[in-house]
Every structure is written in C-alpha cells, then in structure tokens.
C-alpha cells in the first residue's frame, strides 16, 4: 500500500517547530560567542602561556576533541548535580556547546596565530607598541581573519550538532519534533520538515557569517590602508 503524505498535520503545528528553531538559533549564537572567547584565551595560552597552563589547556583540548559531544553533554547534565551544581536542560546544553566549541576554536585560532610571521612582531615592537597592542592588532586580528572561514564552518557544524541536546530534553528544534511525532505519529513528514528547517538554518548562519566577515575584516583593512596612507 503506497504511503500517503499528510503534511497538513505538520503545518498545523509548524509554530511549535519554529519556536524550537528559534531556541536552536539562540543557543547556538550564544555558544558561538562564549566558545570563541574560550577558544581565543586558550589559543593565547597555548602560544605564550606558562608551561603548567599550556599543559592544562592542552589536556582540555585533547579530552574534548577525543570524546563524543553526547558524552560531554551527559557529564555536564547528569554529572555536575553530583557536585552540587544543578543546571536545567537548556543551561546544560549551552555549557556543553560552549566547552566543545572552545576546544575546537582553540586549535583553529592557534593555527592562525602560528601563521603570523615573526618579522611582523619585531616590526610592531620596534614601533613601540605595547604587548597588548601587539597581541590585539598584529597577532589576534590578522589570525582571526585567516581562520575565519574555518571558524564559521565549525560554528555551523555546532548549530547542526545542537540537535543532540534533545537527548536531555532541551527544547530546541529536534526536541520539538520528537514531541510532535509522539502526538501525531507522522514521523516521515515531521522529519522532512525538520530537515528543511535545518538546511534553512545552515544557510542563514553561513550568510550571516559572510556578512559579518565582510563588515569586520573589510573595515579593518580599510582602516589599515588609511593609516598607512596617513
């Protein structure tokens, strides 16, 4: 007997899926900001920090990169309460996504910092720039520009991987789909719609990253050209 699609049942509850998609966007965007901050700090420590700090950061990066995101999520959601730290599902999802992103961003940013030529550092020091000015203008900003496409790809992958947090009942898109499926039993139609929504979210994130890159890095290059001309 041929399968009969009934997308009208899904469309009647589309607002619930869109609400879940909105939470996916919020969780992912906040995790990206926090994860980038963690990654930049970790990368700087890996490059210039004391030996003990480098060892700790290296251990953090290796542990995160060598374990499944789902296991990390379960440790944070189910394990931290044993230590007296209680997080709701959305809070645990945000922490897990931030910790995961921070480790991957650290390696990406570290590679960008390593690509900065030593002569640029020597020239900056000869100009009398402070250590913070050198790190900000000569090291970090050029490094971030070099690795921005890789960071954008990693952030988009994390947005897609956020579907895993439905395992702890975080109320994002996939969790909303699970709930709707249990009520309507139209799994095929529901997950086709969810797939389309994730594709649209991925396109939205990629376009947003492209626009952000054009604004931030083109402006930086333009200001640099003006200063050189002056």
191 has a pLDDT exceeding 90: yes
Q: Which tokens go with 66? A: 């060598």
State the pLDDT at residue 222: 60
**Residue 157: closest CA among 202, 189, 200:** 202
State the pLDDT at residue 1: 64
The pLDDT tens digits for 12-69 are 999 999 999 999 999 999 999 999 999 999 999 998 889 999 999 999 999 999 999 9
Distance between CA atoms of residues 100 and 61, nearest Å: 9
State the pLDDT at residue 101: 97
State the pLDDT at residue 221: 62
Distance between CA atoms of residues 123 and 191, nearest Å: 56
Chain Cα centroid distance, residue 14 = 26
Task: Give the residue-averaged pLDDT of 130-139.
Answer: 72
Please, what is the average pLDDT of the chain? 89
Q: How confident is the model at residue 119 (pLDDT cuts 50, 70, 90)?
A: confident
Q: How confident is the model at residue 171 (pLDDT cuts 50, 70, 90)?
A: confident
157 has a pLDDT exceeding 80: yes
pTM confidence score:
0.88
Q: Where are the alpha helices (DSSP H) in 4-136?
A: 7-11, 14-48, 51-65, 69-74, 89-114, 118-126, 131-133
**Residue 153: closest CA among 110, 114, 104, 195:** 104
Distance between CA atoms of residues 165 and 158, nearest Å: 11
First-to-last CA distance in the chain?
Answer: 77
**Residue 206: closest CA among 171, 160, 175, 144:** 160
Q: Which tokens go with 71? A: 């296991």
Domain boundaries, the chain: 7-229
Q: Which tokens go with 221? A: 């290059």
Q: How confident is the model at residue 120 (pLDDT cuts 50, 70, 90)?
A: confident
Q: Which tokens go with 73? A: 């999520």
Q: Which tokens go with 193? A: 């719609």
CATH for 7-229, options being 3.50.50.60, 3.20.19.10, 1.10.3720.10, 3.40.50.300? 1.10.3720.10
Give me the sign of the Cα torsion angle 176, 178, 184, 188.
positive
Task: Give the residue-averaged pLDDT of 158-177.
Answer: 93
**134 touches 100 (CB < 8 A):** no
State the pLDDT at residue 91: 95
Distance between CA atoms of residues 222 and 207, nearest Å: 22
Q: How confident is the model at residue 143 (pLDDT cuts 50, 70, 90)?
A: confident
State the pLDDT at residue 226: 44
């Amino acid at each position: 007997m041929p399968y009969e699609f009934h997308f009208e049942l899904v469309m009647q509850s589309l607002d619930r899926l869109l609400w879940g998609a909105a939470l996916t966007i919020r969780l992912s965007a906040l995790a990206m900001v926090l994860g980038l901050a963690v990654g930049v700090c970790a990368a700087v420590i890996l490059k210039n920090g004391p030996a003990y700090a480098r060892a700790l950061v290296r251990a953090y990066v290796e542990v995160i990169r060598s374990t499944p995101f789902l296991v990390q999520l379960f440790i944070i959601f189910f394990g931290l309460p044993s230590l007296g730290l209680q997080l709701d599902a959305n809070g645990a999802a945000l922490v897990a996504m931030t910790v995961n992103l921070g480790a991957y961003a650290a390696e990406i940013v570290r590679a960008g910092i390593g690509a900065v030529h030593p002569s640029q550092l020597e020239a900056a020091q000869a100009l009398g720039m402070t250590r913070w000015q050198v790190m900000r203008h000569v090291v970090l900003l050029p490094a971030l520009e070099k690795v921005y496409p890789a960071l954008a790809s990693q952030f988009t992958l994390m947005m897609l991987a956020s579907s895993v947090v439905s395992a702890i009942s975080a109320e994002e898109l996939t969790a909303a789909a699970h709930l709707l499926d249990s009520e309507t039993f139209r799994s095929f139609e529901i997950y086709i719609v969810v797939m389309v929504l994730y594709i649209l979210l991925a396109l939205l994130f990629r376009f947003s990253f492209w626009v952000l890159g054009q604004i931030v890095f083109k402006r930086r290059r333009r200001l640099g050209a003006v200063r050189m001309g002056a």
